[in-house]
Structure 1
Amino acid sequence: MFIDIDEVVASVTDAAEPIERIKRVGEALNEVKHLTAELGRVRREEIEGLISEGRSQNEIGRLIGLTSSRMSQLLTSGPAPERAFFGAKAKPVIVAVGRKLEAEKEKPGPVVSTSDLEAYDKLRRLVEDLGLSSTYEVIKPPGLVHLNREGLVVICGPRLSPLIQQVLEADDRLGFAKDDAWHLVDRETGETYRSPEDSDEPGDIAYFGRLPRPDGKGTFLYIAGIHAAGAAGVVHYLVNELPSLYREVRTRRFSTLISCRYDPVTQEIVSSERITPIYRHEV
């Protein structure tokens, strides 16, 4: 598939006013910028795939007509393949964070936890490093959020959103449950995972996955700790493990559980690890 240059130029020059033509030029150049970045990502990913199969850079270069120095440039410049994990589109990554009512207040107001804000800030920096932009929005009580959007990341526990709780039912391997306290369960193994925080230990456990949109036309990324620190733990895991995670799941549906530990004084996440298999929801 090729771009019809004459058609693009005509769509710009057909505008009646100079200001509108200038605006359209900017929009077209922005589309070209994102297209160039995404095609560069695809090329780099394919080259890395061939190398992992045993092909040498020189061999691949000869087959596609590039010098060895140019091949080295392609492998060290441009967007990393794992950029696609968040949806490598021209649109920004949308991070929607749940908001709850203040505890122990006569007239409680809605608040966002500092751990969730930390998670967003680190996630924002991660996607920027991948050449993507991001926006931030708050999910207000009672937890209604528009899930049918591209590039969406939701950070919101099921206790704050009945809608999210319903979507989580699509995962028959992992999920939240509640008895005396909220916890996570692995239905494949029957194992129960309770938050260290509930035993006064500085740590938490979180659900992390890619879930189906209600409209059936795509997916969204979902992050939720048993407590707020868990979400920041997932982002800590992504910062350190995204390339290997992307190689394993690409953009397919999956779910897993992430455990984290944090500094009890600063609340900063100091370690994170995956504690269950990565369950794939698609063939």
Structure 2
Amino acid sequence: MEDPSKLATIKGPRERAIAAHALIDDYQSAIGELSRLRREALEELLSSGMSQSQIADMLDMSRSRVSQLLSAGIRPERAFLGTGGLTVALGGKHEAGKEKPGAVVSAEALAAYDRLAELARSLGLKAEYEVVPPPGFVTLNRSNLIVACGPRLSPLVQQILESDSNIGFAKDSEGWHLIERHTGTVHRSPCDSGKNADVAYLGRLPRPDGKGTFLYMAGIHAIGTAGAAHYIENNLAELYREMKTRRFSVIVTCEFDAESRQVTSSARASQIYRHDGAAQ
């Protein structure tokens, strides 16, 4: 991060204001992440047997202040989404019936983004979305990225998915489905048989540059993507407790209202596969 004292040397007030504003955002993001790390460490100390009074003595603060930090500090599970402003990349399709079609996203994909953005805001994070136009070239080598784009819309994402030896998308004469590779268990979308339910892939995948990961979700149908977002929203603490920010994959199922197309419930449809070889 840039030294704030250097900003005073910028002569133009316009440039100085822009630089100061950007630096404030950087510092606020860093402070938020430090607060999250502190609360997580305090919770670990409590679970190891230390009392709040002992922690207060260790940190030279009052017990009431420790209690406040544990109840009002940034929740540790925020790290499952990211440590700064989130970018949610939504897969787009060409508009039908137009001479020069633009890229549009489904209502279900936008619903998934809305869920994630609201969850992010509740955790002190900003979120924005971008549309990934055909043929699906999305920049994956960046921090705080969530990708909601099926392999049919992005060959690049499809290649990354092949690194998952546990779960994958496949297609046969009956259509697209998800398969647990080790057991051969096939998960087909209930939508294809007229039911108001779908299945989705949820996981954390490696960036092509090898310098991090990105969170990924995609349904067999678009509504499944919204179902994966619903599952994260309602199980964030558990997901973080089990996986932290390590690579994993799991199949999620969801049910939705036929008229409103709103997801009403979601649950795991497989075990959580850790990409280091273990599973839960």
TM-score normalized by the length of structure 2: 0.92
Task: Tell me which of 8, 15, 21 is aligned to 1:13.
Answer: 8
2:125 aligned to which of 132, 143, 151:
132
Equivalent residue, structure 1, for 2:241? 247
Question: Which of the numbers 51, 61, 66 marks the counterpart of 2:61?
Answer: 66
For residues 268 and 108 of structure 1, do their structure 2 counterparts lie closer, same or farther at Cα, with a shift above 3 Å needed?
farther
Aligned: 1:271 with 2:265 = yes
Over 3 Å counting, the alpha-carbon distance change for 1:193 and 1:9 in structure 2 is closer
Contact 2:227 2:254 in 1 (8 A): yes
Q: Determine the structure 2 residue equivalent to 1:174.
A: 167
Question: Whole-Å Cα distance in 2 between the matches of residues 78 and 37 of structure 1?
Answer: 9
d(CA) in 2 for partners of 1:108, 1:188: 45
- Given the alignment, which residue of 222, 226, 231 partners 1:232? 226
Tell me the residue number matched to 1:154.
Answer: 147
Worse overlay, 171-180 or 106-115 = 106-115
1:111–1:48 CA distance, 2 compared to 1 (3 A): same
1:78 is aligned to 2:73: yes
Shift in CA distance, 51/16, structure 1 to aligned 2, threshold 3 Å: same
Are 1:29 and 2:24 counterparts?
yes
Aligned residues with identical type, % of pairs = 49
Moved more, 108-117 or 193-202: 108-117
Distance 2:195 2:8 in 1: 64
**SS, match of residue 152 in structure 2:** helix
Measured in 2, the distance between the counterparts of 1:178 and 1:108 equals 31
1:56 to 38, 51, 76: 51
Question: 2:180 aligns to what?
Answer: 186
2:158 pairs with one of 158, 165, 169: 165
Label 1:102 to 1:32 Cα distance change in 2 as closer, same or farther (>3 A): closer
1:154 partner amino acid = V
> Is the counterpart of residue 118 in structure 1 residue 108 in structure 2?
no
Kindly tell me: are residues 261 and 65 of structure 1, through their superposed partners in 2, closer, same or farther at Cα, counting changes over 3 Å? Answer: same
The total of aligned residue pairs comes to 275
Answer yes or no: is the 8 Å Cα contact 2:94–2:133 preserved in 1: no
What's the CA shift string for 1:109-147, capped at 9, x where partnerless?
443111111101111111111111111111111111111
Does the residue aligned with 1:248 lie in a helix, a strand or coil?
Answer: helix
Cα shift readout 1:42-80 (whole Å, capped 9, x = no counterpart) = 100001112222322222222222222111110122321
With over 3 angstroms needed to count, the CA separation of the structure-2 counterparts of 1:18 and 1:239, relative to structure 1, is: same
SS at match of 1:158: coil
Aligned AA (1:280) = R
SS of residue paired to 1:11: helix
Q: Is the 8 A contact 2:255 2:264 kept in 1?
A: yes
Q: Tell me how far 1:216 sits from its aligned partner.
A: 1.2
Distance 2:78 2:181 in 1: 31
Using the alignment, how far apart are the partners of 1:159 and 1:204 within structure 2? 17
Residues 111 and 18 of structure 1: CA distance in aligned 2, closer, same or farther (over 3 Å): closer
Q: 2:31 and 2:71 mapped to 1: Cα distance?
A: 16
Q: CA distance change for structure 1 residues 140 and 22 in 2, over 3 Å: closer, same or farther?
A: closer
- Listed as ranges, the gaps of 5+ residues in structure 2 are none
Establish whether residue 203 from structure 1 lines up as the match of residue 202 from structure 2: no
Q: Distance in 2 between matches of 1:183 and 1:170?
A: 18
- Please report how far the alpha carbon of residue 30 of structure 1 lies from its aligned counterpart in structure 2 after TM superposition: 2.5
Separation of aligned partners in 2, 1:268 and 1:176: 24
After superposition, the CA RMSD in angstroms is 1.9
- Stretches of structure 1 that go unaligned for 5 or more consecutive residues are none
The alignment status of 1:41 with 2:72, answered yes or no, reads no
